[in-house]
Amino acid sequence: MPHILDRIPGLPGVISAIAGKDDLIFCDRDNHASIIDGTRLSFAKTIKYQHNDMGDLAEKLEAAPTNRGKLIVADGIFSMLGDIVKLPDMHRLAKRFGARILLDDAHAFGVLGLNGRGTAEHHGLEKETDLVMGTFSKSLASIGGFVAGDREVIDFLKHKARSLIFSASLPPASAAGVIAALTVLEREPERRARLWVNANKMRASLRALGLDTGDSETPVVPVILGDQEYTFRFWRQLFERGVFANPVCSPAVPAGMDLLRTSYMATHTDQQLAFVRDQFAAVLEQMGAPPRTLATQRAAIPRAPDRSANWPAAFASELLLPGGSARSFFMSALSGNIETPFCQVSTALSDFPCCWYMLPRNR
């Protein structure tokens, strides 16, 4: 039975506490930014391997000095591409080279596994996984997070992780919300079943339109468009049609992998998902095929230049939402200071957030 330390504010505190100056951290190139921040705060040397490429990880581990401590850190579900870490292969490598594994299950907890316990349960490797980090802010709809591992490791973190020592406790209401959400997860498994039905349906629908969803196999479903300007214009057209997705460009993803990040909830209805599919189809018809589609995903495409530093000012201002900026628009909308035709479907307990379907405010 793993011991759990809650209230720890993120991976940087855990990684920087565990890995010292004589240690090595092996980090997937597509890991979440919080993992990257943790490796930078640590005094350990960081060695990056190609995304979810266990062959490349094996080469990096084999080339490493045998007398150094080794920590492999990876997302359970990768937050942009929606694929699942190859944990069985990673475990075999860790055992072979004497490494430990830290999983970031922010997007997997409540989603993967027979009981929603995350990536390790999904692969049947809970006892073999050294540390699992999770958040309360996604499936549990609260704030805060946890790290689970052996008692000795958790006791060490309690006295070593600066982000824990110098932080305050969770608000009681937030902690109570987490407990209530866990109860829902345990008692209502039909929510997870519905979540997977919705995710698989939308992934198939988007691929049927010829869109590239990469290697996604979870409720995180990227639509890889392959060009920065095209991505933002596509996002704007979707928004005006009542669908909100997240545009993602370099440096969050490599240049040429510009995408719209969609994800789905158990509470999305068939009618809402059909609406989202139809809006994608309408924007595709209006804008034409993107630089990257299913037909081109296997071909070698030149990486698009990163134009974020020299966009024309007119185009940049065109992307701003009503009210002068995205922040001011959403803050004003939340406070009721402006009229907006949209409001998001709120995430219910144990739902996976967002490609938020927008509903008229007066419904």
How high is the pLDDT of residue 3?
A: 56
Whole-structure pTM value: 0.79
List the one residue out of 159, 28, 167 whose CA is nearest residue 102.
28
Per the residue annotation, which of 16, 34, 42, 79 is the catalytic one?
79
How high is the pLDDT of residue 295?
A: 66
Q: What is the pLDDT of residues 265-303, one digit of tens each?
A: 999 999 999 999 999 999 999 999 888 776 666 454 444
List the one residue out of 179, 185, 176 whose CA is nearest residue 121.
185
How high is the pLDDT of residue 60?
A: 97
Per the residue annotation, which of 91, 138, 216, 350 is the catalytic one?
138
Domains recognised in the chain with CATH numbers: 3-185 (3.40.640.10), 191-359 (3.90.1150.10)
Per the residue annotation, which of 107, 122, 123, 268 is the catalytic one?
107
Low-confidence ranges of the chain (pLDDT < 50): 1, 7-8, 298, 300-363
**Element housing 221 (H / E):** strand 220-224
Average pLDDT, the chain: 82
How high is the pLDDT of residue 326?
A: 40
Whole-angstrom distance, CA of residue 235 vs CA of residue 246: 8
Give catalytic status of residue 79 as yes or no.
yes
Q: What is the pLDDT of residues 321-339, one digit of tens each?
A: 333 444 443 344 344 433 3
| Burial of 167 (C-beta count, 10 Å sphere; 0-12/13-18/19+) | middle
CA 6 to chain centre: 20
**Element housing 164 (H / E):** helix 162-165
How high is the pLDDT of residue 205?
A: 97
How high is the pLDDT of residue 292?
A: 77
Contacts of 49 (CB under 8 A, 6+ apart): 26, 27, 28, 29, 56, 57, 60
